Structure 1
């Protein structure tokens, strides 16, 4: 269950039972207090009197309502359910609720028995529930606690069981249960979203307290059989109408254990169940059968007796390779769910016999290669989901006869090559068409214009589509069109300008699109969202048209339109515009004049990064760290900030220009609670007790390359970082800094850093002031987490262990500053390291290892060197002896400070000269620059790295007492080392040696 958790994840167990809490951990249970009375009353009043609606009885209702709230004892669920139920009721019903005998029952769910732990307020809500809604609610008892159910599936089950009256709409039932807080529309976690393949808004779940109420009111008809507890049920089988089998693995319930009068049977968590062939021989009245998640490759033959079956769920049966033909005899079947049956290769040819089928889900049937040729019988089919059928190459010709089809999802059918010319001839009722990532489809049939009811069409990432059909007179009800990522599309037909009801048009990343038709926006009076971002070849936009056109436009994204040189004059009519992104429009000129001339009073978001300039390198605050080299650009930015915002952009909340970003919820012009980028300072907010880090997620967009977060000690809880979603931002450089001062509400730095894992494309990472003694896991595996890093800076860090920086494949620049670690083991090949900076280190040993090898042998004298050439050996020995004489001369006079210089010829470079390494001791790469500053008693092991340039100041190095000490100049930088190290570095014919007695054994 917990395998999907990321490193460092914590598990929080919530329960209504104090006994269970103590069993989990007797020392850590935290008992949540009830909601304060004032907050309960505000919640009740908001729901019971929506939008401030008042009537003559309002004052009396408020008095009664306050007493009802007191009886809810601070339980928000109870408050919300009663408030919703009483909001349109007369005063008499309010008084009846207050005086109900149900209030006298047990109200403490932590100490109550299973039969009495139902909150009285929830019982009252059910008591006042309309009769038509009660069976729909009671049906939830057949689901296990914590269930997630999809909207369409639930409605189909209610309909199959006869719960929905012919004159009622099932959507109204759902909304009423949601209003009572008996159901909750949930935004689920990514694993669940992927599992159900549904938008979050169509998924529902139920609170455990409400589920317990459902089980209580349906106890005479619902039975639950748990295989882990022997599979027994207290309900007599002859009375059972709805049954749940859970945790049956291997041993299946026998036919005698199946209720003969059951209308619905669910199996849950029975992945290893192998049902007996005759298991359904006595359940002939069954209408709903849920076999999702079974691990069997064959379905029981006794299913042929289910003549009344209307809903069949076989989803996630990964072992099922073939759908038996007996299913095609279910003449009343209206709902068939086969999603994620990844082993199914084909469907039975007789599937066209399912004349009543309304919903067919084949999503993620990734082995399905073809569909039955005859589909004429599926005339009632309304929804068909083929998403993720990645092996499907073509659709049968008869698909064009599905005249009642409303929802068609063919997304991610990446092998699908073409649709027949008349594919949409009879599909006039389609409202939803999704062909996202059908990357081999080259054109859309001309018959698409005959689809009169189409509202939503998604052709995003159909990268092979070269042209679109003419749609003269068609698609008049289309309100959303997504063509993003159609990279081969070069032009749009003129007839697309007739889409008069279009509200949302996304043509982002159509990189070959150069121009739109002149009358493209002629009839688009309802357009609200336009996205042309990433259209790098687009050089001109058409006029919006007449005086009344374009007024409703709220969002215009032209980011990355590098060839766009101007905006048409008609864009001055965008009085409703709230979001304008022009970042990367490098040829767009006079934008400040355009903005100043037109009063964009409602504009809240404005991104001008890189507008009218050759590149980001010329802008203030770019990653180079240099100021703007263009004075006109600076003046332009200043005029924008000082004049334009206060005069024309009074509601502006977000502004990005010249590499800087400003944000304020109250408006930038007010200068209140102003946030800035790339430097963002974390502060605590008084109004909610949290920190302003949550705002970073709102203002950080794709144009921001650099980010510096200061004062991270002010983060209140790590969960605040979840809203930032920094891992989804493709930054170039990231600096994370904790101040030296400790905040009174400081959250542990390690927990914060865990949440700040950046995108793997990050190139520069700086960590400052991190006070924990260990790093989170993603730092310790940084070579895998951030393989593209070019530069790393660790400053004022107190960790005892550093990550394996030597294994970074692309690391070129490493800076370690004031790190309180006495022993660095930098293991790895250092393939591309060019610069190493060591600053303010004290009593530190730096171990440079290649492939983790330990170096046992370190040469100390000239006799350890292998030099075959006798002449070269004599020259080296002469130099060595002369250096020792200099040392002896000065060592006799400790107070002497005079320096003596001597120019000595050096032997020509020899392949064997100063070769310290061998096959067992491979050398490190040669650096371009080694910088050592203010380091005390620094030691390299086994030796100092080679470098073309050395910068060593105000530093000392550890030596043995018997070891001579020499300093000499190399490439105009002062270098200090041993005699043998001197030989190792000597690559010139002559070298200047200066010897002096370093009394403090220091590098000056």
Structure 2
């Protein structure tokens, strides 16, 4: 790459020269003098390189000349690097072919004699290398002399500023975003609006690059008011950039919905999107849109036309023209942050917390630097990160403030602040950063794969072990992330590690600028001619690229992803290639000539149709990473795979037809092996010879019944994944001899009954996952000896009845996941000693007289828990004092569930259960933290709610958004829940004494669930009040309610009608009389009286109706006929339903009809339903004749018809042979 990375490139060449002048080069006699000269000249050049690179960033003629000198130097350094690698490779191949020369007991003369043997091919190679070395020495000699023309100052590597690392690193926290609260509230308000002239509203967010449009969209997209309680039926995020096509949308929708779609057919893509969005209220974010072609938007928006009212499309763009084309409402224009807000961002990264108070002079300079940010948050973050590494002196900070780069106008698209941050970056990081320009804009970059590519390209010192190089790569990645040069990270939820990231457009522009002509990215239908100066190329196009022989011979990396097929000449000519990525391309076979790519270190063939690898691939003696993931057609690997002695990463996941050769045991340098979903793997004997293995993934090997005892030989293993190996009945005790194991995943071993008793021997274990081991009865007592254990996941272990009694010894345990352990009888005493514990799913209060060593609820007192907590078995609390001691009010929980076990009448009352008054005091003493968002209480036997839920609920729990109360036979009245301004979801279930819902106004409630309320009758939905002028006014109590679920509420009478805002209504186990009555009231009330409008306006009235399990319902109630705005109707398990009346066709808005389990249904007037677009029928046999055809109706006009899960009319299934043989 062209700018700022020559220093590290020359440093790498010098390292190879220093280490390779032994048996590999020194034995070639003509090299000695030239190699010494080469090293001498490179050392002289390196001494002035830092000054040259710094001055080349300045303006003026000298900088142009310097950049030209650096370009020539880099070309020569690349040539030297290639030459040295070729020599090393040739020596390695000789040793591989003649292993006797590796015998260190051989006299040096014998080895030299062997290598100098007059073999014509060997002699030709030596002459060729000698000639190239001579040419290279002469070229470098001229370049070294030219350094004097610039008056460059000498400085060794010590001149580089030390890069100061923070003690800890974490991804960007959205809660720390500054200055965007007002913007966010405006966007959220637009997303929550349900009225308007369009069913699907398009809301553009417009602003300059780097202002935070994407961040603002993310904040709104993830806001609790938007995500909570199914406000939207479907939420999809699409990163568009320049790829404005239906397939781009479909790819993201497919990922979000997990539904299948043929992405190769535009017609199937359009049908898929129409079906997915039809009759759903969806939120779609189209991020970073550049398309200004109105015709393309017109074509695309057709697939959204059937979305339900309230659907939103949020668009981020830099272009006002894009906003004008797509908008249905006025765009939200994002402005730059104030200087104060930019200072807040800058200060947070430039100083440790509170440190700025010790440097008032630096604060003053820092605020002057911040003014140069132009209100761009990205710039403030980048500058703050850079200044953190600077000395705390006025000179150092003033030098940044006064740097001439602020006044340069060479590249207006590059922010000076970002360029300055790049210049100050350590040289090793510059290579890694500039290489990222090989990915298209907005590309989702896999972190681990990126690090493997850096290693393959030599950006991380090859003198380190693979483990060290991965550690360094992670450090580099985190540095770039911290500096805001990488962002928008995704994290693995289980391990809380970054998995993917993206580059901001402005940062990508900078990366392209510094990489200059050495990196080419070809996307879509762009020109496919590759400049001859390129060394790193990525092609994302179905078009065959024009690659000249010159380019082929210079290339070091080629990403040919999701593209056509490479021309055959490439494999013979690209001899400098270190990295070849063919992921998702159309390639089906590799030519044997791939064996000529001797310097190749990274080969990615994942998700291709490759069926076999040529044996010649085993001659790639430098290969470090081989990825065959998802190559489902490949059946065998080369017989001599073991010859790849430098292979360190082998991914064979999802190669379902693959048989593993025994020669895999020869891969002694293999670091990571992924065999997930390799169905044919049933034995691991050969794998147990891989002594250097650190990572082994054996998940989903469903036919593997045992682990070999020899697994104990994998003493370097750090991570072992055995999840979902369903045939694995037991584990050998030798597994516990893996002393270096950090992470053991045994989840979903459904037949596993016990763990090895010696599991406590795994003294370095950090993570143990045995979730969903449905047969597991207990954990070995030795598991308490896992003193470094940080996370224990036993969730879903249905038969697990107790935790280890000495669990208190796990003092480093941070996370204990134990939800869905239905047989767990209590928590062990001493759990309060888990001083590091932050997350606990469930605390089970055991019966003190029945469960030995059972902890009291008071042991929660000193645990610093956050997140979600469920407390079960509260009927076993023996004293209200213990409940008080639990100290829930001090625990910053987001969600809390309190559960008493409801005793059945047959069991009678347990003698240990507290009297009602004390039970009420227990609940009083369990008052949660003021920031609680979700509260559930079940099985409570008291007669009243605690004070913190009654008169004080508004002040004690002001942030509640969801409440569920159920199984409370003694409570006859409800808390004043209308005092909760943010309450959005309310479930009231099985409270047989409650007769009314009160008259409090619920300003934000969106979802209401009323179940098993036998005497609930009065439900006032409208209040009549006096306005300021004394006039009577009707005010809805539930102005935002959109979803209503009613189950077994036989006496319920909404007065005077259902809330007009209700759009979705579901009945379950409701009598036909009550069903009819409530539907009669499912209409908006009139303006000044109780009149009901027969034709509700477009934004009023029900859109979706569900009727389930209603007995004795032989036909639909006549009142349904008035629901003229109805768009979706579902009828489930109404066994007595015999016919659907013709008048259903009068509902001209009806588009979707689902009928399931109505076994008596004989008549369906589908031919009358002319507007119907989707019809699903399951379990209604009387609607069809013996040939499976509809009786008495026609469905030809309905676009999508499905019968018992199959598309109708039935398509003949083409016979096809399975690609996989049965095992």
Q: Find the counterpart in structure 2 of residue 881 from structure 1.
A: none
Aligned to 1:241: 535
Work out the CA distance in 1 between the residues paired with 2:552 and 2:383: 36
The corresponding residue for 2:458 is 162
Residues of 2 paired with 1:617 and 1:603: CA distance? 38
Q: 2:826·2:846 contact (CA, 8 Å) conserved in 1?
A: no
Q: Identify the residue that residue 595 of structure 1 maps to in structure 2.
A: 883
C-alpha separation in 2, matches of 1:118 and 1:451:
51
- For 1:98 and 1:826, the matched residues in 2 are separated by 63
Q: Which has the higher contact order (CA 8 A, sep 6+)?
A: 2
Q: Answer with 206-215 or 273-282: which moved more.
A: 273-282
1:315 corresponds to which residue?
606
Q: 1:853 aligns with which of 1165, 1175, 1178?
A: 1165
- Tell me if the contact between 1:668 and 1:674 (Cα under 8 Å) persists in the aligned partners: no
2-structure distance, mates of 1:554, 1:279: 55
**1:712–1:739: 8 Å Cα contact kept in structure 2?**
no
Q: Is the 8 A contact 2:542 2:562 kept in 1?
A: yes
**Deviations for 1:879-909, whole angstroms, at most 9, x for unmatched residues?**
xxxxxxxxxxxxxxxxxxxxxxxxxxxxxxx
Gaps of 5+ in 2: 1-247, 254-275, 283-311, 966-974, 1026-1036, 1085-1095, 1139-1145, 1156-1160, 1169-1189, 1194-1223
Deviation track 1:409-441 (CA, whole Å, cap 9, x = no partner) reads 22233333222222x221112222222222111
- Name the SS for the 1:172 alignment partner: helix
Say if 2:633 is the partner of 1:343: yes
Cα shift readout 1:837-882 (whole Å, capped 9, x = no counterpart):
xxxxxxx9999996333999xxxxxxxxxxxxxxxxxxxxxxxxxx
Q: 1:123 aligns with which of 402, 419, 433?
A: 419
RMSD of Structure 2 on Structure 1 (CA): 5.5
TM-score when scaled to structure 1?
Answer: 0.66
Q: Offset at 1:334?
A: 0.9
> Aligned to 1:94, what secondary structure does the other structure show?
helix
In 1, Cα distance between the equivalents of 2:764 and 2:756? 17
Residues 816 and 839 in structure 2, CA contact (< 8 A), matched pair in contact too: yes
Structure-1 residue corresponding to 2:1196: none
Call closer, same or farther: CA 1:494–1:254 in 2, change over 3 Å. same
What's the counterpart of residue 863 of structure 2?
577
Q: Deviations over 1:348-407 (max 9, x none)?
A: 332222211111222233x23432223222112222222333x23413311111122112
Whole-angstrom distance in 1 between the partners of 2:484 and 2:341: 17
> Shift of the alpha carbon at 1:116?
2.6
2-structure distance, mates of 1:396, 1:181: 44
What secondary structure is seen at the aligned counterpart in 1 of 2:570? coil
1:73 — aligned with what?
A: 374
Q: Who is 1:100 aligned against?
A: 403
Aligned residue in 1 for 2:578:
287
- Three-state SS of the structure 1 residue aligned to 2:374 is coil
Superposed displacement of residue 305, structure 1: 1.7
Matching of residue 50 in structure 1 with residue 332 in structure 2: no
Q: Give 1:93 shift.
A: 3.3
| Shift of residue 581, structure 1, vs aligned partner | 5.1
Rounded to whole Å, the distance in 1 between the matches of 2:550 and 2:1038 is: 54
Give the secondary structure class of the aligned counterpart of 2:517. coil
Residue 657 of structure 2 corresponds to 368
CA change 1:8–1:491 in 2 (3 A) is closer
1:435 pairs with one of 722, 741, 745? 722
- Number of aligned residue pairs: 778
For the 8 Å contact 2:826–2:854, the answer to whether it is kept is no
Alignment of 1:477-876 (within 5 A): 477-515=764-802, 520-521=806-807, 523-539=809-825, 542-544=828-830, 549-558=833-842, 565=850, 568=853, 575-579=861-865, 583-585=871-873, 588-590=876-878, 592-596=880-884, 602-604=890-892, 609-611=898-900, 613-614=902-903, 635-643=917-925, 645=927, 656-658=936-938, 671=956, 673=958, 675=960, 677-678=963-964, 692=982, 714=1004, 771=1060, 796-798=1082-1084, 821=1123, 832=1134, 851-853=1163-1165
Q: Superposed, which structure 2 residues align to 1:858-897 within 5 Å?
A: none
Counterparts of 1:704 and 1:284 in 2: how far apart (Å)? 77
| Maintained 8 Å contact 2:519/2:537 | yes
The question of whether the paired residues in 1 share the 8 Å contact of 2:350 and 2:388 is answered with yes
| 1:770–1:213 distance in 2 versus 1, CA, 3 Å | farther
Q: Identify if the C-alpha distance between structure 1 residues 174 and 434 changes in structure 2 by more than 3 Å, giving closer, same or farther.
A: same
SS in 2 for 1:692: coil
- Does the 8 Å contact 2:844/2:873 carry over to 1? yes
Say which SS state the counterpart of residue 356 (structure 2) adopts.
coil
Q: Could you say what secondary structure the match of 1:433 adopts?
A: strand
Q: Report the equivalent of 2:594.
A: 303
Asked if the contact 1:713–1:738 (Cα under 8 Å) also holds between the matched residues in 2, the reply is no
- Give the Cα separation in 2 of the matches to 1:656 and 1:222: 56
Match of 1:179 in 2: 482
Query: 1:406 is matched with which residue: 694, 698, 701?
Result: 694
SS in 1 for 2:696: strand
| Per-residue deviation, 1:289 | 1.1
Counterpart among 220, 231, 245 of residue 528 in structure 2: 231
Q: 1:86 aligns with which of 372, 387, 390?
A: 387
The answer for unaligned runs of 5 or more in structure 1 is 107-112, 620-629, 686-690, 716-720, 743-748, 837-843, 857-918, 923-1004
| Equivalent position SS for 1:356 | coil
**Hey, what does 1:34 align to over in structure 2?**
336
1:12 pairs, out of 295, 314, 331, with: 314
How many angstroms apart in 2 are the aligned matches of 1:702 and 1:368? 51
Give the Cα separation in 2 of the matches to 1:203 and 1:126.
Answer: 22
Q: Structure 2 vs 1, CA of residues 372 and 757 (structure 1 numbering), >3 Å: closer, same or farther?
A: farther
1:132 match: 428
Match of 1:263 among 556, 568, 590: 556
Higher-Rg structure is 1
Matched residue SS, 1:360 = strand
**Distance (Å, rounded) in 1 between the aligned partners of 2:1044 and 2:517:** 53
CA drift of 1:203 comes to 1.3
Q: Name the SS for the 1:240 alignment partner.
A: coil
Separation in 2 of the partners of 1:469 and 1:128?
54
The residue that corresponds to 2:676 in the other structure is 387
Distance 1:346 1:730 in 2: 59
Kindly state the Cα deviation for residue 79 of structure 1 after the two structures are TM-superposed: 0.9
Aligned in 2, Cα 1:353/1:11: closer, same or farther, shift over 3 Å? farther
CA distance in 1, matches of 2:1023, 2:633: 58
Tell me, yes or no, if the aligned pair for 1:796 and 1:818 is still in contact at 8 Å. Answer: no
Contact 2:1012 2:1049 in 1 (8 A): yes
Q: Which moved more, 1:463-472 or 1:445-454?
A: 463-472
| Separation in 1, partners of 2:653, 2:474 | 24
Q: TM-score, normalised by structure 2?
A: 0.55
User: Separation in 1 of the partners of 2:668 and 2:822?
Assistant: 45
1:253/1:279 contact within 8 Å kept: no
Q: Distance in 1 between matches of 2:913 and 2:773?
A: 40
Aligned mates of 2:767, 2:991 — CA distance in 1:
29
Q: 1:2 aligns with which of 245, 249, 257?
A: 249
In 2, are the aligned partners of 1:258 and 1:279 still within 8 Å (CA)? no
Q: What SS does the aligned partner of 1:202 have?
A: strand
SS of alignment partner, residue 259 of structure 1? helix
How far apart in 2 are the matches of 1:87 and 1:826? 58
